[in-house]
Amino acid sequence: MGEKGRYILGIDQGGTKTAVVLMREDGVLLGKGKARGAYFPTQGMEAAMEPIREAAEAALAEAGVAQQEITLTVAGVTGLDWPGDDAAVQQAVCKLFPAGEAIACNDAVIAFYSGAARAHGAVICAGTGINGALIDREGRQFIYGDYMDENVQGGSALALRAARKVFDAQLGLSGETALTPLFLAHAKVEDVDALLRCYMMEDDFRNKLRYLVPDIMRIAEEGDEAARALLDEFVGQIVTYLEAGFRKMGMQAAEEEIVLTGNVFKGEALRRRVQEQIAVRLPGAQVVSARYEPEVGACIMGLQHRGLEAAKREEAMRESAAALGLLRS
């Protein structure tokens, strides 16, 4: 059977949504599907597999391909953080798609393949939360997962740290900051005492602060000292994790790509700071952005597994990804 008759199913399952895409082994993406998200460690494996099945059925229907024609399924699944989890998820995926083989990994790993030109390197995924992974030349993986401190957990942590800058200014620990009127307007209060009351007493108030992240970055770009310091501190912790990861894995940063993906890195202020600190602290490492949605990264990982060069299929992937709305902006 030639590559035009072999199909890879790529799966990206997070807590919010499950996304699936079908790729022919010549790199052409043929169909996509979406369903609700799941988190198997708390909801159970059966509950996590159901949205995968639904999204896969939609992708296969759009592509006009029968499930029996899938030769490889690559599933990037949130919560796959502990030894043995990959085997359990792989077994569950094989039951769904028994015609071919299956690979299961943490969803940070497929995010790496959505941007990297190589099969080894590092990825940091920063959205509402944060995760990261390293993959060495032998294919060994290290997933950061819950080892990453709460103070660096993506946009949620960034917003909480910004609130702390407002409170520090109120205490006189630092000068005035444009973050203060931003937070007061968000809380619809007139002073920082009232803001603190909301912060401490209102259900879900802290969680909703993450919606302020774009404005926090804008204020930093406008030169606000507290906001600029906030981003520098946040980025410094991220790069420290990368430094430690490369040491742990025995990888030379100068030989690797570091993929940045997630909504937090869409802000130019943060991306530039990450690139600047990496240039100083991890000289030679190449910082790249994700080019595709993670489910496409799962398919690219599948090509690597098959011994097929993704670079030779880049044009076909890019054209078909654009047609399906799977290119990252």
Whether residues 254 and 309 fall in one domain: no
Residues 250 and 128 in one domain: yes
Q: Based on the structure, what is the number of domains in the chain?
A: 2
For residue 146, the model assigns a pLDDT of: 87
- Residues 272 and 301 occupy one common structural domain: no
User: Taking residues 132-152, what's their average pLDDT?
Assistant: 93
Would you say residue 1 has pLDDT above 50? no
CA 96, 24, 71: angle at the middle one, nearest 5? 35
pLDDT(298) > 60:
yes
Residue 329 lies in a domain: no
Domain that holds residue 298: 3-108+291-324
130 and 232, same domain (yes or no):
yes
Segment 312-317 mean pLDDT: 95
- Indicate whether 245 belongs to any domain: yes
**Least confident stretch, 2-16, 87-101, 106-120:** 2-16
The SS3 call for residue 104 is strand
Say whether both 136 and 282 belong to one domain.
yes
102/151 same-domain check = no
The pLDDT value recorded for residue 222 is 95
183 and 217 fall within a common domain = yes
Place 106 in a pLDDT band, splitting at 50, 70 and 90.
Answer: very high
Provide the mean pLDDT of the chain.
Answer: 94
Residues 54 and 132 placed together within one structural domain of the fold: no
Q: What is the pLDDT of residues 59-74, one digit of tens each?
A: 999 999 999 999 999 9
Whether pLDDT at 280 is above 60: yes
CA atoms of 116 and 256, how far apart (whole Å): 9
Instruction: Give the count of beta carbons closer than 10 Å to the beta carbon of residue 211.
Output: 11
Q: What pLDDT is stored for residue 266 in this prediction?
A: 82
Instruction: Tell me what the mean pLDDT of segment 44-54 comes to.
Output: 97
Count of Cβ atoms closer than 10 Å to residue 313 Cβ: 21
State how far the Cα of 228 lies from the Cα of 110, in Å rounded to an integer. 32
Where does the chain show beta strands of DSSP type E? 7-13, 17-24, 29-36, 70-77, 101-106, 121-126, 130-135, 141-143, 257-261, 286-289
pLDDT-derived band of residue 263, with 50, 70 and 90 as boundaries?
A: confident
Instruction: Provide mean pLDDT across the span 50-56.
Output: 98
Q: Would 149 be classed as within a structural domain?
A: yes
pLDDT > 90 fraction of the chain, expressed in percent and rounded: 88
